[in-house]
Structure 1
């Protein structure tokens, strides 16, 4: 049975291993980054745990969206992964900084359950919205023929399939545009 609970300090090694398996070309968060997240906003960090195995995580922080823009970067929102931009006192936006599910466990509703936990947190904190960026994981196969924006439009129209964008759309998110350099691999690690 799947349990969604808050991420715990004892989960950090498993979370790092999970990120490494899901995004092999992107460095995982460091232990100190997880420690900082768990100190500043423990209730915004979620773990998907069936049978005591960590198979998914969702990392979030509250931000003052009015200080940002639709053309932000992951690095600017998270202060290069330090997450000290978290501001629960004045922020009204839950920012989804990371979500990943083990490739072996996809298709079982784990991503949806993690997003449901985020929605519940958003309601409990009386926040206005959830904002999240996502990778266009299937774009590379079309990069010689389409711009990222054209690719995204064709996914939205149902002409092409992208697992990340389709998942976000199915979760009720609106497509707002392409964010250059949104991925965390642009950070200095």
Structure 2
């Protein structure tokens, strides 16, 4: 019997499950702190999503809204997320910034990642935001680092010569590759600290309207 993945907004009661799941997914990377997750839910509850299967939390997608012009130059994950607190969330922005996505490694092949990405795209549409920007891990890069730069590796993935577990998936999900963010997450040894800058443009964005997070103009 098939079971459908449900994507919904994160609730305070999900925090314990998220902390435990993140530690399993990224054993070599410092996990979130509980107070950070609480603050994420406080500043931008709509942007925090979980995937649920048979009543269990099996994935997560967290985001904030930013003024992209302030962050278009090189930045780190710690800087743009205010060390995971999302205090940099700015309702005046038009860019949904994808800060984190992770999926239970025992649930691969269940299309959980696709469901989370679609949930994030729908959020972008619902809020009338211009785009989604994220910096994705490059977990396949470590094996090739002695032979090529991260930029060369990403290009080989784009050309189809190589496959990366994250970037190849993101390209299939309709994101465009924009370049490399150096030293984005130094703890990420598989990616050698590097990340790929990617973007998805909302085809339904209406520049004549404010976003759902902005007040309507007064006459």
Shorter-chain TM-score bucket reads over 0.9
Given the two structures, how large is their TM-score scaled by the length of structure 1? 0.94
Distance 1:185 1:29 in 2: 13
The residue number in structure 2 matching 1:37 is: 40
Give the strand-richer structure, 1 or 2. Answer: 2
Distance 2:179 2:127 in 1: 27
Q: CA deviation at 1:183?
A: 2.1
Partner SS for 1:132: strand
Pairwise mapping of residues 49-128 of structure 1 onto structure 2 (< 5 A)?
Answer: 49-88=52-91, 90-128=92-130
Higher Cα radius of gyration? 2
Distance 2:39 2:125 in 1: 24
Q: CA deviation at 1:81?
A: 1.7
Q: CA deviation at 1:70?
A: 4.4
Equivalent of 2:18 in 15, 20, 40: 15
Distance 2:111 2:60 in 1: 13
Distance 1:43 1:84 in 2: 15
Q: CA deviation at 1:184?
A: 7.2
How many residues were matched structurally? 185
Kept in 1, the 8 Å contact 2:37–2:85? The answer is no
Structure 1 stretches lacking a partner, 5+ long: none
Kept in 2, the 8 Å contact 1:75–1:184? The answer is no
Higher relative contact order (CA 8 A, sep 6+): 1
Partner SS for 1:142: coil
Distance 1:184 1:50 in 2: 32
TM-superposition CA deviations, 1:17-40 (whole Å, max 9, x none): 111111110011110000001111
Kept in 2, the 8 Å contact 1:101–1:110? The answer is yes
Pairwise mapping of residues 92-171 of structure 1 onto structure 2 (< 5 A)?
Answer: 92-171=94-173
Structure 2 stretches lacking a partner, 5+ long: 189-219
The residue number in structure 2 matching 1:46 is: 49
Given the two structures, how large is their TM-score scaled by the length of structure 2? 0.81
Q: CA RMSD, aligned part only?
A: 1.3
